[in-house]
Each structure stands twice: as C-alpha cells, then as structure tokens.
Chains A and B, each alone.
Chain A
C-alpha cells in the first residue's frame, strides 16, 4: 500500500471540495482498499464520506424506493421497508460477498465502481433507477458506461439511488464459485409500463437483454424464455466459464427469476 492522506468530510459540499489531483471518495472501501493494497491503484487523498449525515438511509413511497449511497448491503438486506416494497433487492443485498463485506460495503460504492460482475448494477437497470448525484440526476440506462466506468464526472458524488417499485421482480444469481460474484446474474422486473431484464457478469458491463424483455413482455412466464436464442457473441470467457456456458446460464437464471417472481 502506498501512503495517502485520509480526510473525512461532514457534508457533501465539503467532500466534493476536497477532491483534487489524485483524490477519490472512500465509502465502504471493499474494492478500493484491496486495490490500493495490491498497488493496482494509488491515490494522494482518500475522502471518507461515511460520516456525511443524510447519505445513508432508506426512504419508501408507493412509487419508488430511495436508498442513500452509503447505506450498507447489510442494512438493505435487513430493511423491512425494502423487504416490503422490493423484496428482490433485499435478497440481492443478502447475497453480496460475505458478512464482513455486507457490513462495510455500500450501494453507492458498488454502482460507482461498476464491477462487471457486481450485483447492484443489474438492479439499477432492471428497476429503472435514477441515480441522484451531487450535481444531477442520471438514469441507470445512461449511468453504466463500460467496464469499471460510469457517467460520473470527477468529483461527482452519488448521493442516492431511486428505484421504481415494480409489480413483480426477482434476481437470480449463478455465483462464480471462487469469488461468489455473479458469473451470471439476471434481474427480471415487471414494471408498470415495461418488462426489464438486466444481466450482469456476462459482458464488460451490465446490460439489458432485449430478447428476454421482448419475450417476457408478451408472456411473463418462464416458458416464454424456452424459445429465446441467446447469442454468446461478445460474452466474457475465462477460467470459470466459456461464453457459450454463460449464454446458457442466462436462460436458466432468467427462468428461475421469473418463476420466483
């Protein structure tokens, strides 16, 4: 680990102001700190945002569920409000990492990092989320731009994530046996106006699967998936799974998700 300055901000404005040069925000640090330790990343300053009041917490209305960016996975998993309005999201949070990660890691950190195999980005896409930042509102469709890349600008801080409350939804994850990140994760949501299906772990960035969305829009049942042909072109291939296997598992997970909706 290379040395860095550690600073704590008490409000968003201060946090943003502290970003200059090679500085970055620190929330749970579940990805950032290992990367620094392994010297894959080095920063002059880490700006701790965990002490900012108001960045953490869960608010529910009939139409939406809003989760503050420093809310931990454990808090989402245990939240009665989340369980009532979007139970699939609580289940997703319960399946992230291990207890240590869930108690430290945050939703804002997860989506700002945009790991290609992270769980939350698929929830954001499927649940038509809006990302509220220190500067603006960004729709999930525009937020996730590439591998470990988002539409966030330098010094822009995620403040909360607002999910649309769906009629039905479910997340089915086939974990990488080693890391237990998603080898394939499929989030299916039947929203008021549309059906959305988001897939994580399969390409360099989370994506919506139009073929599955089309099939489920006309018939929201697992049998509707049987005849969908998922092409493996452009899918990740690594020591854990070929592109072809991932394509197969997308269908299996999609069916599982729909069945448990």
Chain B
C-alpha cells in the first residue's frame, strides 16, 4: 500500500459539507421540542432593580420563564475560569461571580438576564418582549487603558484588576537595559476581534424523565470538558447520566471552547419542563455574546548592542478580560502570551508584566492563536523597528539574532526541541524575490502607489500540553489526549478520538495515519468524535494540539493493536510473538512464507473458534476482541515556526491598503496531508490579515457594541487577497513520534505583524491595527504627504 502520510488526499468530509449534508446542532429537531429565547441586557452596566415576567408567562405558547432567581434557587453554579493565574504579589487572581442568568447586575450589552421557553421561536421572542426588567443604569468602562482608573465595576475587585502577572527576571533585565547601546521603544494596540465562526452557537437540552439521562447537543470544541465543567461546577447533572453531543461544528476558533450560559440554561430548562429545549444564536447574539479575542494595550522595549545583538526585552501589557473571566481568559494573555514574546531570537533576559482588567464588554478568551498572535505582533514589530533604527537589513538583523542550536532553553519557560530558522527565512526570501523588491517599489510608485514590505518570523508553542507543566501553572485539568482503536470483526476500524474536528479535517488526517499504521484502506476507517457516549474522555481541539497529542494517542493505540495481533498471529502461524513482523497490514512469520492479514487476525479475535476444533486460535491469557485505548501525555509543547513576507500597495490619496504579494514558508514538522495544511495556512493568514487591516470590535462610550453586524464589522473577503505562495521546511518535533508540530493557528499568529510591517514600511510612519483607509490616510497626512492632504 502506498504511503498515505504525506499524500494530498482529498478530504473525506468534503462530500457531506459541500453538498449541504452536514448535520449541525441547528439541524437537529427532537419530538416535543420547545424553543428558548434569551432576554439580554441592553445596557453595558446596570443594577437590576426589578424583574417582572408575569405578562410573559401568560403570553401564547409560553411554557416557562427562568430568571437568575430560579437558577440560584436550584443551585445551578456560575460560569468558571478554568485556568487561574497568580499575581506577582502571590495572590490569586480575582474572579467576579458569573451566574448563568444575571441576579442583581448586568455587566455588558448582551449579558444573559432571563430565558423564555415556548412552543415556537416566534412565541418565545414575542414573550421575551414582555419580560419587564427595570435597570438602574450605571456608568460603564470599555477601554482597556482606562479600566484601572475607573470605579470598581465588581464588588471587591479594586481598580478592576483581576491579576498583575509577572514573568521573567526584572533585575537581570534592568541590568541588560542599563548596559544597552540602544533601547528601542514601541507602543502597540492589539485590537479586539469577534471570532465569527460560520456556524453560530447552538444548544439543545434533552432530559429523559424516564431514565434520568440528560443529553446536551451543543456546538463545542470539547464536549468531554463541557460535561466535566457542567457536572462539577454548574451542577447541571451528574457526569455518568449526562451525555454531550457536538455533531458537525462549523468552525470554532476558540469561541466554542467555553461552557456558555446558554448551554447550561437549556440543559437546566429541559430538566425543569421535561421536554427538549432548543436555542440557536442569531448572528447578532454571536457578535454580542461569543467570547471576543485579543484587546491588549502594550508598551515594549528592546535592548540592542552596537553589533546588532538583542540583549533584553521588557514588555508591559494591559489585557482586557471583558466583564467576567471565562475558561481560558486568564491564561491566554499570560502563559500563552508572555513566553512567546521572545520570538525565535536568542534573547538572554526578559521581563513581562500583564495586568488583566475587567471592563463592561463581552468577555474575551482564546481566539485562534490565543496569546501567540499578540506576542508575535509585539516582537515582530519591535524587531523590525530595531533593525530600522540601527540601519540593518530586516532579514540580516533577524538572522543575526536567531536561535541557532537545538534544543534551546529560552530565558522564559520554553525549551525548544527543534527548528532551523535560517532555512525557512532563506527559502521565503527566495520565493518572495526579496532582492528585487526595490524595483517593484519603483514600479508601484509609477502607478501612484506606495509599496511596502514586511517580515514576520514567528514561532508558537503548540501541541498543548504536558499535563504536569500546565497544572503547575494553574490549569484545572491535564491536557493529554485519548484514543481508542476498535477493530470490528469484519476487518474495518472505528477510531475514537478525544479531539474534536470543527473544520480541522480529522476524518481524513487521522484515517491516513491509521491507514499507514495498520495497513487498512482509508475508506474502511471511521474517525468518531464529538460524543461523550462514544469513546473515552478527551480534551478536545484547540491550541493546534489534535495531531501532535491526539494523533499520537491514535498511533500508540495502533501499536497496542499490533502487539496483540502479533501474539495472536504467533499462535496461528505456530511461531513466537517476537518472530512475527508486521508490515502493510500483514503479520509475517520470520524466515517463512506464513502470514495472516490483520483482517484475519481481527476476525479470529472476535470469533475465536472453528467448527470441529476445540482449540482457540487465541493464545492462553489473551482476551478476545481487538480494541485498544491509549492516553498520551506529551513531554513538551511542539514549536512550529516560519517566515511570512508580505507586500502591500497603499493608495496615497485614499489611504487604502491592498495586499499584493504574500509568501509563507512554514516548518510544521511532519506534514500528514499537505492539502489540508494549505487550507489551514490560507485561512489562518486570511484571519490574520483581517486583524491587521479590517476587523475591529468597537464599543462606544456608553458601552454599546457599534460593530454588531456584518454591516459594520469588516470581515476579510476573497477579493482582498492575492494568490499566496506557500512552501515548507521540515525539522520534525521530538516530543511526539509523528514529528508533528501543529499548523492550525500559524497563519493567524504570523500575519498581523507581516502585514503591519509592510504597511508601516509603505507609509513611513506608525499605524495601529486595523490599518483602515482613514487611519493610513491620517498617518500619511501627518507624515507630510501632499496627495493625502490635497
């Protein structure tokens, strides 16, 4: 059989998705189903003085209305922060109460106040208009840089400061700065983004009054974790009687990691009324109430010596957590961010502080890249400024500071196992035709366009994560992954993974791995995920972890299958297990022509007998069946890296920026399916370009979200992009047997810096993200452009 790993195999899941046969939560309709509609806060900050739902209760079709009082009375727990951070003074971070339905106060526009359950959606919506909530409106704070100066929005959380985190060595770093020949300073804003998964969130609670089993269908990236949290913390239902199904899920980007209020409430409401309760987010609800991403304000300084070597870095960031702290809200701007500020440079010392602040905005959490895009933006912008200030070529300055030897223990946290940074930068420079850039700049100038070039040489910590390490720094769970490989008697294979595919193409990638490993045709392998009743507990998909961690669990389970198969084959072939070779789906007795296919072995494992023969084909002590489970806990993170080179043309009259050339060379370690990886990179870059040029979640002074629809929130579109050039280098990861490093977030991590470095190169002065036409126009005017001022 030809190698499947490394082959450009078309996605197994394409057919259903491209022909509209996907089955999403919203596609599921259950007998006797009811509909939920949420009453949400129209105010950014207010006290609830009175809530009267008596009129709504009498409205046609209404079955029940639930409020904060109901969930409190039934002891439904609030939403949690799953990974807690300790401040530099040794104190735990502060988390405000976060009830699933507001009790006394609301803290952002869209905050969940009550839910109406009715026979039809229209009836629920009509009745929701009759829920009379009296609010005492208070002043709100939305801006990241104003939060600590504003009055306390949560009782007992002074200066709205959740934590004041420090990573690094302040003394040593101060010393490096005192000896520096040059100190480069930079202020950057990492704009707030709204994830915008194509499928809005949805949930159906289905309580079986006979069996006392509760099923929750929900668009989640991690159904097992959801069940754990909802059982242990929200006290919705005991774990063994609770099933969560996350069927086809149309994109997550981190926004479907959290257990949301709506998940808990529909499950709770179904138990209360004894019928299924369905909720599907309207797009405007997604804008308001999905977790947002990014939203940092940062000051960074880089110490450099006269030879062009970086001698230290200092970064101070304020991260906007929004109104509450969600599951990964605190780790995202701290441990997922601060260590990455070193980039791929050999920097001897660093010191980073992060203040996590509460504001009256939608809570922020992981969003594609989660901390790493923010960090990469800081380091790649400041490295570019440094090269400019000391008059060195962009590429040369980077290379001079690249880590050259591996493994490399960075001065913050990470021990990078493998990489070759010169290799991908050299390849990118070649493919981008860097040497002729100035010619292209002149050509553009002739058309009246300002051309700029920008680099971003990034790395990321993926394959999350070694359990002991993450739990030592506050994670509430370990981040291993599980797999069960189940041979069926007829020789086909069901593979259960704890990872979850919501666009990552696991059905294909994992089948390729199993196909090669066991010598089974890809069409005879089924990848099963997204249902807590099928397969073992798993941690889900985020942090580019599925292949490196989940894929490895599958490989290990396959190895166990082969080991058992060898024992069975030995008995059947009349040899010893150690004399059995396994290759391409066949067990072969050494130095003989005797062999059994893996299908025959599976058959024998399930039907261990032959008519007229009392001897079992199974060796003594070997149990029937051919099912193996593996839990893999990685020894380290994996560290993908790469080089992006972007060229833009800026219209001097209007300030419009057009992406004209984009080159990417990534080192993802072993690539299983280049076609799927390409898709991940294209999509990732598009999202990163979105942040750099278009996307911005905007709250006005009163806390209203003014970018709450596609009329006002600018998504990147196909016509914003040139054909990109993609290529790879490969240094395999050493922390997993596949050698895989992860690719799902890379594009989004690297692109913002590449694009902004290009814009700033074109404009000649600083511009903050998103570089909208007006912002660039203003920068051009300030910089003395006559055309812009005309």
- Contact call A38/B714, Cβ cutoff below 8 A: no
Q: How far apart sit A249 and B656, CA to CA, in the bound complex (Å)?
A: 11
* Segment at the interface with A among B308-316, B320-328, B542-550, B705-713: B705-713
Min CB distance A105 to B, Å, is 15
Which of A179, A238, A248 is within 8 Å of B777, CB to CB? A248
A245 interface residue per 8 A CB criterion: yes
The dominant DSSP class at the A interface is: loop
B396 interface residue per 8 A CB criterion: no
Q: A179-B711, A245-B777, A252-B653 are in contact. Are A240 and B772 (CB under 8 A)?
A: yes
What chain A residues lie within 8 Å of B132 (beta carbons)? Answer: none
Considering only residues 1-44 of chain A, those with a C-beta below 8 Å from chain B are 1-3, 38-39
Which of B122, B284, B698, B772 is within 8 Å of A177, CB to CB? B772
Q: How far apart sit A179 and B773, CA to CA, in the bound complex (Å)?
A: 15
Min CB distance A149 to B, Å, is 20
- Contact call B790/A251, Cβ cutoff below 8 A: yes
Q: How far apart sit A1 and B124, CA to CA, in the bound complex (Å)?
A: 12
- Contact call A252/B654, Cβ cutoff below 8 A: yes
- Contact call B712/A239, Cβ cutoff below 8 A: yes
- Contact call A239/B698, Cβ cutoff below 8 A: yes
Interface centre among A39, A248, A249 (most CB of B within 10 A): A248
Q: A239-B698, A241-B774, A245-B777 are in contact. Are A179 and B710 (CB under 8 A)?
A: yes
- Contact call A249/B710, Cβ cutoff below 8 A: no
A255 to B, closest residue via Cβ: B653
Min CB distance A259 to B, Å, is 12
Q: A1-B122, A2-B122, A252-B653 are in contact. Are A178 and B773 (CB under 8 A)?
A: no
- Contact call A178/B777, Cβ cutoff below 8 A: no
A226 interface residue per 8 A CB criterion: yes
Q: A245-B774, A248-B777 are in contact. Are A178 and B714 (CB under 8 A)?
A: yes
A231 interface residue per 8 A CB criterion: no
The dominant DSSP class at the B interface is: loop
B587 interface residue per 8 A CB criterion: no
Considering only residues 752-790 of chain B, those with a C-beta below 8 Å from chain A are 772-774, 777-778, 790
Q: How far apart sit A249 and B788, CA to CA, in the bound complex (Å)?
A: 10
What chain B residues lie within 8 Å of A252 (beta carbons)? Answer: 653-654
Q: How far apart sit A156 and B125, CA to CA, in the bound complex (Å)?
A: 33
Interface mask (B96-134 → A, CB under 8 Å = 1, otherwise 0): 000000000000000000000000001001100000000
Q: How far apart sit A2 and B121, CA to CA, in the bound complex (Å)?
A: 10
Q: How far apart sit A240 and B711, CA to CA, in the bound complex (Å)?
A: 11
Considering only residues 174-194 of chain A, those with a C-beta below 8 Å from chain B are 174, 177-179, 181
Min CB distance B783 to A, Å, is 16
Min CB distance A142 to B, Å, is 29
A219 interface residue per 8 A CB criterion: no
Q: How far apart sit A239 and B711, CA to CA, in the bound complex (Å)?
A: 11
- Contact call B773/A177, Cβ cutoff below 8 A: yes
- Contact call A178/B711, Cβ cutoff below 8 A: yes
Q: How far apart sit A87 and B137, CA to CA, in the bound complex (Å)?
A: 54
- Contact call A249/B654, Cβ cutoff below 8 A: yes
A242 interface residue per 8 A CB criterion: yes
Q: How far apart sit A160 and B608, CA to CA, in the bound complex (Å)?
A: 82
B337 interface residue per 8 A CB criterion: no
Which of B654, B710, B774, B790 is within 8 Å of A178, CB to CB? B710
Interface size class of B (residues with CB under 8 A): 20 to 34
Which of A1, A174, A226, A240 is within 8 Å of B712, CB to CB? A240
Interface mask (B685-728 → A, CB under 8 Å = 1, otherwise 0): 00000000010101000000011001111110000000000000
- Contact call B714/A177, Cβ cutoff below 8 A: yes
Q: How far apart sit A38 and B772, CA to CA, in the bound complex (Å)?
A: 28
B788 to A, closest residue via Cβ: A248
Min CB distance A117 to B, Å, is 10
What chain A residues lie within 8 Å of B773 (beta carbons)? Answer: 174, 177, 241, 245
Which of B126, B284, B712 is within 8 Å of A179, CB to CB? B712
Interface mask (A206-232 → B, CB under 8 Å = 1, otherwise 0): 000000000000000000001000000
Min CB distance A148 to B, Å, is 15
Q: How far apart sit A2 and B707, CA to CA, in the bound complex (Å)?
A: 25
Q: How far apart sit A242 and B777, CA to CA, in the bound complex (Å)?
A: 12
A241 to B, closest residue via Cβ: B774
What chain B residues lie within 8 Å of A248 (beta carbons)? Answer: 777
Q: How far apart sit A242 and B778, CA to CA, in the bound complex (Å)?
A: 11
What chain A residues lie within 8 Å of B713 (beta carbons)? Answer: 178
Q: A38-B284, A239-B706, A240-B772 are in contact. Are A178 and B712 (CB under 8 A)?
A: yes
Interface centre among A181, A242, A251, A252 (most CB of B within 10 A): A252
Q: How far apart sit A98 and B653, CA to CA, in the bound complex (Å)?
A: 26
A39 to B, closest residue via Cβ: B125
Q: How far apart sit A178 and B712, CA to CA, in the bound complex (Å)?
A: 5
What chain A residues lie within 8 Å of B653 (beta carbons)? Answer: 252
- Contact call A177/B654, Cβ cutoff below 8 A: no
Considering only residues 116-156 of chain B, those with a C-beta below 8 Å from chain A are 122, 125-126
B283 to A, closest residue via Cβ: A38
What chain B residues lie within 8 Å of A249 (beta carbons)? Answer: 654
Pull 9 A–B residue pairs with CB atoms less than 8 Å apart, ordered by A. A3-B122, A177-B714, A178-B694, A181-B711, A238-B706, A239-B698, A242-B774, A245-B778, A249-B654
Q: Which B residues form the contact surface with A (CB < 8 A)? A: 122, 125-126, 284, 653-654, 694, 696, 698, 706-707, 710-715, 772-774, 777-778, 790
